[in-house]
Structure 1
Amino acid sequence: MIKASVPAAYNMIRTLGIPVAKQVNILEKSKEHQKTCLLNTARRMFSRNKLLHRIMTKFSKCQVTPVKRAPFDFLIRVPDDRRILGGIASSRETGLNRRVDEILSISKVVSAHPVLITEGEQYRKKEMPCVSDEEVARMNGPEDLIARVT
């Protein structure tokens, strides 16, 4: 297989009259890039889904949208036109600094408040507000999270 640029592929299609490029879904992870153990991935997804479920039930008054295949894990829309862009991080997660940078830059673009929810220990780098899972369990509603984030 030969890699070509998009304009070169279109020129070849126009010249040859047959499709020469294969469509690629950039959002789909290839099987070749599965570098982690299946059990570690399952454990991470279970803990992430458990925290995401807790967030969705705690903040059911607001519109909570879980997101897959993005650096952030959920988006909360509060009735007074505020948005909270949040990520859930485990203690064993690799590449957390890069993910935090992406969440911060996306939140600046969409004018949202970023938050990182962690399992136990706090993330102390950057200007990212960090909330532990115990703090989320003690929160009574979306007002507590908004007060913590802003």
Structure 2
Amino acid sequence: MANKNRSSFQLSALPVTIFIHLLVIAVTTFVLVWLLHFREGLAFKSDIKQKIFNVHPLLMIIGFILIEGEAIMAYKTAPGMSRKVQKLFHLIMHLVALLAGIVGIYAVFKFHHELEIPDMYTLHSWLGMSTISLFGLQVIPSIKILRYR
């Protein structure tokens, strides 16, 4: 049996990476246009309470789709960097995604508080809170594991 060079079977991640980046930028742009043009805009403080809520979908898209996607692809999108720099970039992107998610959830709680709507009354809210909690909890062992690898 002939011994083949394994590198000849590896596919380049560049075309897929470029496609994913363009797709995520398009989705983020569409959500931003939707919020600004059709849903009154964005604000953390406003007399129009819908603007406060609108921060939530934008930050969830930016945090968990755009930034988290970058964190996942960090090792493929930055192949020229050292492993240590890639790990640091990966960690920072995860933390920024987590922060965006927390601020997005804060916006919903603020919206509910200002309109005196009860919190956590839908399946979406429970699944979302569970997801962000588990995402935050997995960061703790990840930091310890990445530090020693």
TM-score range, shorter chain: under 0.3
Give the strand-richer structure, 1 or 2.
1
TM-score (norm 2): 0.25
Q: Which has the higher contact order (CA 8 A, sep 6+)?
A: 2
Give TM-score scaled by structure 1 length: 0.25
